[in-house]
Amino acid sequence: MKRSYSKYSAKDDLLWLILRPWIFIPRVLYILLTFIFLFLRILFQGNSKNKNVQKNLSKYLFDVITDLGPCFIKLGQALSTRPDLVRQDWLTELTKLQDNLPAFDHKIALKIIEEEFGSTANELFEEFPDSPIASASLGQVYKAKINNSYLAVKVQRPNLYFLIRRDVVILRFLGTFLSPLLPLNIGVGIGEIIDEFGKALFNEIDYQKEADNALRFANLFKENPNIFIPKLEKKFSSKRVITTSWIDGVKLRDRALLEENNLIPASFIKTCVISGLQQLFEFGYFHADPHPGNMFALKGGNADCGNLAYVDFGMMDTITNSDRLTLIKAIVHIINEEYYLLAEDFQKLGFLTEEQDLQKLVEPLKEVLGGSFGAEVGNFNLKNVTDKFSKLMYSYPFRVPSRFALIIRAVVSQEGLALRLDPEFKILKIAYPYIAKKLLTDNSEEILDILLEVVFDKKGKIQIEKVQSLLNILFSDSENINSDLIPVANAGLKLFVSKKGSEVRKNLLLSLIKDEKLEFTDAKKLLALIRDTFSPLNIAKSAVQNIISTV
């Protein structure tokens, strides 16, 4: 029985390669020697101030990654999204890894199309070009035409299954062998993380799965006017070819390029980050490869939220409902500076073992996370925290659960993309208000439980400071207070009078009773906070803003 090429198995694939030493040994030696030469060149030339030296070094880095093949190109793509980690002159070259790689022979692409559909490209389409318009790690894209409409036809690179199967096995072998020698402490074996990477790659080379992913992703965002997903053309899609409607947009690669096209970079950053948060915290299904080559800025939208198109749905992943809710709790605990509860969240997510004494981590977590915000939580930057967290992970028994490998990749790539467009971007300036609004407007049982934890302590007492902190985060600027005030007020009122709100009403009543006496101090503070936040003037501003936004 022929084994499905989209199925990844670390054990079976390792056995397959070990039984072929004529493939395994030369490839391992080639990879090791390539990286040794790269390391030596970076060591001797990396700090040179000569522009020509750096230009040649960046070109050499691009050539090395390209030569090593699809697995390494995927890793390089992730690196190409981090302007805070990679020199700008190197970054310019690495950006080519996203969609400007050397193309494979056009005749081979035509042969693959004919093998998949039983007809030539010229028989299938009214117009089919003589060369691809873009070439990426796993395939190349042609701009074809049918019925006066343009289509994006992506054709898979030849021999891809063999190349990925071979190199994932070798990456796992080298990673497992060399990890004890590296200055890293990721807890779980690096092999498990490479397994997740391997599974994602094997899924990505099956374009039928990508087609299903595209349909599912489009359905999730069908009510969002700012997110556009190209239409799948099933008639021209198969296991090695996928065809969608053509996207006329500008890639989120360069701020100047967006401005040249009269597009506002900040508006696309917000749409990009909010849609990413929705994927993680609402849908539980996310695009795990959000680099600039897979995202386009479109005309339309407004100065606050630009119109954004996603493409390439090969690398997708899910997050469990339990993990999703725990991550929301973790963000709330960071907001409230509750580091013991945050340590419990890490433990539940698998970053800490069940045996770990969490009390010992309170001060280190406070130092790493609390110190990163300064006077304003919006100053949070993943790079700042990552630098400190790497030291914390080396000193304490933190580990990275393998199931978080693609989540971390997606979040880090997305922040890197935003930093390319705005070097001063702070991800939590958008993420915190999003979480605050979700807590205040989402009436699901799970979110209600988290909200109750914020509003009331374990004794049922109202935590005024935390409620105020939540509202301050949501309404910290005029844009948010104008657009979010009425939705939050409506949701709060509906919750209070609904069946679900019985727990809220009960806790509010209990909070008024202290030592068998009625105590109205906290209630007065809460009413004053609500009155100041939802004043008639603010409500009027919100109504006007909502009317303007719909005109």
Of the ranges 368-377, 398-407, 458-467, which is most confident? 398-407
- Which of 122-131, 233-242, 351-360 is predicted with the least confidence, judged by mean pLDDT? 351-360
Determine which one of 167, 206, 289, 323 is catalytic.
289
Q: Could you tell me the pLDDT band of residue 143, with boundaries at 50, 70 and 90?
A: very high
Q: For residue 3, what pLDDT is reported?
A: 41
Segment 146-157 shows an average pLDDT of: 93
Helix H segments across 7-50? 10-18, 21-45
Q: How far is CA 264 from CA 36, 261, 299, 305, in A?
A: 43, 9, 10, 9
Q: For residue 198, what pLDDT is reported?
A: 86
Given a cut of 70, is residue 251 above it in pLDDT? yes
Question: 306, 298 in Cβ contact below 8 A?
Answer: yes
Helix H segments across 118-254? 121-124, 160-178, 190-204, 207-220
Q: Which helix (H) or strand (E) holds 513?
A: strand 513-514
Q: Could you tell me the pLDDT band of residue 54, with boundaries at 50, 70 and 90?
A: confident
Burial class (CB in 10 A: 0-12, 13-18, 19+), 392: middle
C-alpha triplet 66, 68, 73: angle, nearest 5°? 50
pLDDT, tens only, 200-249: 888 889 999 999 999 999 999 999 999 999 999 999 999 999 999 999 99
Q: How far is CA 377 from CA 271, 411, 424, 469, in A?
A: 20, 18, 14, 11
Segment 476-480 shows an average pLDDT of: 49
Given a cut of 60, is residue 84 above it in pLDDT? no
3-class DSSP string for 73-139: HHHHHHHCCCCCCCCHHHHHHHHHHCCECCCCCHHHHHHHHHHHHCCCHHHHCCECCCCCCEECCCE
Residue 334 CA, chain-centre distance (Å), reads 20
Q: Could you tell me the pLDDT band of residue 452, with boundaries at 50, 70 and 90?
A: confident
- Is 184 or 218 the better-scoring residue by pLDDT? 218
Segment 362-373 shows an average pLDDT of: 71
Query: For residue 396, what are its two tokens?
Result: 């304490």
Question: 308, 298 in Cβ contact below 8 A?
Answer: yes
Given a cut of 50, is residue 150 above it in pLDDT? yes
Active site residue 387: no
Question: 136, 293 in Cβ contact below 8 A?
Answer: yes
Strand partners, 134: 141
Q: For residue 318, what pLDDT is reported?
A: 92
pTM attached to this predicted model: 0.79
pLDDT, tens only, 5-38: 557 888 899 999 999 999 999 999 999 999 999 8
Segment 259-285 shows an average pLDDT of: 88
Given a cut of 50, is residue 551 above it in pLDDT? no
Q: How far apart are CA 23 and CA 173, in angstroms?
A: 14
Q: For residue 86, what pLDDT is reported?
A: 66
pLDDT, tens only, 288-342: 888 788 889 998 877 778 899 999 998 898 999 999 989 888 888 877 788 899 8
Segment 265-284 shows an average pLDDT of: 89
Q: For residue 393, what pLDDT is reported?
A: 63
Residue ranges covered by each domain of the chain: 10-97, 252-431, 442-550
Q: Could you tell me the pLDDT band of residue 91, with boundaries at 50, 70 and 90?
A: confident
- Is 338 or 84 the better-scoring residue by pLDDT? 338
Per-chain mean pLDDT for the chain: 79
Given a cut of 50, is residue 377 above it in pLDDT? no
User: 487 in helix, strand or coil?
Assistant: helix
